[in-house]
Chain A
């Protein structure tokens, strides 16, 4: 029983940034169908920006989250205008688009080292308060990450299901040409989605960064799991992504607590998720869906 409780509390609080980042990634994936490898650098950037604002302006961790999220969102939009929009206008193919995003990821990852320096950088924050949840001690930063997931999830649900921009987003994701004929302004919706995705990625990065350090590979180390969570959860449905993310988080924590080795837990999850993708695809083919 202890293992289950511990796994749920530790998993959800420790891996809340993963769910947050997966939600942001899913937004772009749903809208454009693009596997944006450079999204991992939005996460890294969030960690670096948070650290920079924290150490330069001597602001506490809670205060830096707002400017960090906004700046990460703006930079996410900037990558759209600088790279992905021109590439789309040139009719670059789907596979080539992924390779372009891979190139952008590498460029940004190493460019950040020129801006912020080569050594890993640390936040300057006092030790967080410890709050006991179901008998398990959790830092206030981690609880804030969980709260951010809830707020963003509710906000996204409301945005996509209840607002006219959400309706436009769904229409654009289904059929861009038809959406344009219907009078939808694709640019405004697209910019909004890239911004929101950037905010989610940036906040995830800040939460990761304050728990460890701002380092060049921070986002890339999470990318495979973000991708797995989104593909297994189903990008059409943010709820599915949250559930897949939560299951991933709890399973990682349970296996780590049981075997004392997080890497084995990751290995098992990678294998299981790839098998799920394969089985799901095989069933879809058998059912005539592909």
Chain B
């Protein structure tokens, strides 16, 4: 396949944008519907990436690399899911402050373990040796196929989220998020529902982390900072925390502008790309969070359709 027309920066930029869309969609379930303030999304994402990478690289597998790859990826997803179940149990009945502390604390713990356990993870120096489970020719072709696989995974997440919105389960999550005491008094098992929602979405975050690790081909503790969580929150808030397509629209309006438009198509002086543009990007993301939540709290797409319908029907 001739991919000469395809810019390598564009492939990587698109990959990053699609991955943030996936994370923001999962955050939409947690924060947008159930109002679980997960500020440690990068912890589950990073745990999936490291669990996958460490198992794949450090174990002397007795069978083919493809099987080792698939088993390691399933392991990364499972570990993130189990961690999500444990943290979900801790936070399911805590208030927003407690949830924030526990999720931020978890992300910090993941970073600490990745940094200190040098024999396993490579520590601050990182660990190489990851690669694609196939070889279809050039590096660009391999990366493009991996992008397509990521798009398929994120499309599945999007499909699931849209199904949740239409299902009684989604309405229950919304009712728990709106008024948990009321939902509980109506017989809804809010604790269990929140815990399993958190476990499932954390597992999916772990899978996205593992997929990202393959694209990077390297485990780097520098990826475990606040930037990934920030990007997902920005995409979700700007697009609309309560809307299915909010994550997609938000990521297109924010992350894509910097990762694709500015990186590949706007000819800024070369020196700016080292420090000025990354710093400007973070400033713009911070300002976007403030401005959107103050002046358009439901984001670009606005309130949920069901809220609009209720307002039209009942007034208010």
Contacts and interface: CB of A to CB of B under 8 A. Distances in A.
A114 interface: yes
Interface in A95-124: 95-96, 98-100, 102-111, 113-114, 118
B289 A228 contact: no
Interface string B264-300: 0000000000010001101101111110011001000
A242 to B, nearest CB: 19
B189 interface: no
Nearest to A82: B290
Interface stretch (B74-82, B96-104, B138-146, B193-201): B96-104
Contacts of B237: 99
B101 A281 contact: no
A106 B283 contact: yes
Contacts of B297: 92-93, 96
A87 B285 contact: no
Contacts of A94: 96
Nearest to B236: A99
B155 interface: no
B90 A278 contact: yes
B89 to A, nearest CB: 9
Contacts of B108: 224, 266-267, 270
Contact of A224 (B37, B104, B285): B104
A136 interface: no
B39 interface: yes
Given A224-B105, A277-B94, A99 B116 contact: no
Contact of A264 (B97, B105, B116): B116
Nearest to B99: A95
B148 interface: no
B90 A107 contact: no
A120 to B, nearest CB: 13
B115 interface: yes
Size band of the interface chain A makes with B:
35 or more
A274 B283 contact: no
Pick the most buried of B97, B100, B113: most chain A CB atoms within 10 A of its CB: B97
Nearest to A97: B293
Contact of A261 (B31, B39, B90, B116): B116
A214 interface: no
A231 B101 contact: yes
B230 interface: yes
Nearest to B116: A263
Interface string B231-243: 0010001000000
Most buried by A among B31, B226, B286, B297: B286
A118 B275 contact: yes
Nearest to A266: B112
B109 interface: yes
Interface string A18-57: 0000000000000000010000000000000000000000
Nearest to B281: A110
Contacts of B93: 281-282, 285
Given A109-B282, A114-B279, A100 B98 contact: no
Q: Which of A94, A227, A270 has the most CB of B within 10 A?
A: A270
A90 interface: yes
A281 B94 contact: yes
B230 A106 contact: yes
A83 interface: yes
B28 interface: no
Contacts of A263: 112, 115-116
B286 A105 contact: yes
A107 B287 contact: yes
Given A95-B37, A98-B37, A281-B94, A110 B279 contact: yes
A195 interface: no
B35 interface: yes
Nearest to B279: A110
A102 B40 CA distance: 13
A103 B97 contact: no
B100 A35 contact: yes
A264 B35 CA distance: 32
Nearest to A111: B283
Nearest to A107: B286
Contact of A277 (B39, B98, B116): B98
What are the 3 tightest A-B residue pairs by CB atom distance, in nearest-first order?
A103-B289, A107-B286, A106-B286
Interface of B: 31, 35, 37, 39, 90, 93-94, 96-98, 100-102, 104-105, 108-109, 112-113, 115-116, 226, 230, 233, 237, 275, 279-280, 282-283, 285-290, 293-294, 297
13 contacts: A83-B290, A86-B294, A92-B297, A99-B289, A99-B293, A108-B286, A113-B275, A228-B101, A267-B108, A267-B112, A267-B113, A273-B105, A278-B98
Given A87-B294, A98-B100, 7 more contacts: A96-B293, A100-B293, A107-B287, A110-B282, A266-B112, A274-B90, A278-B102
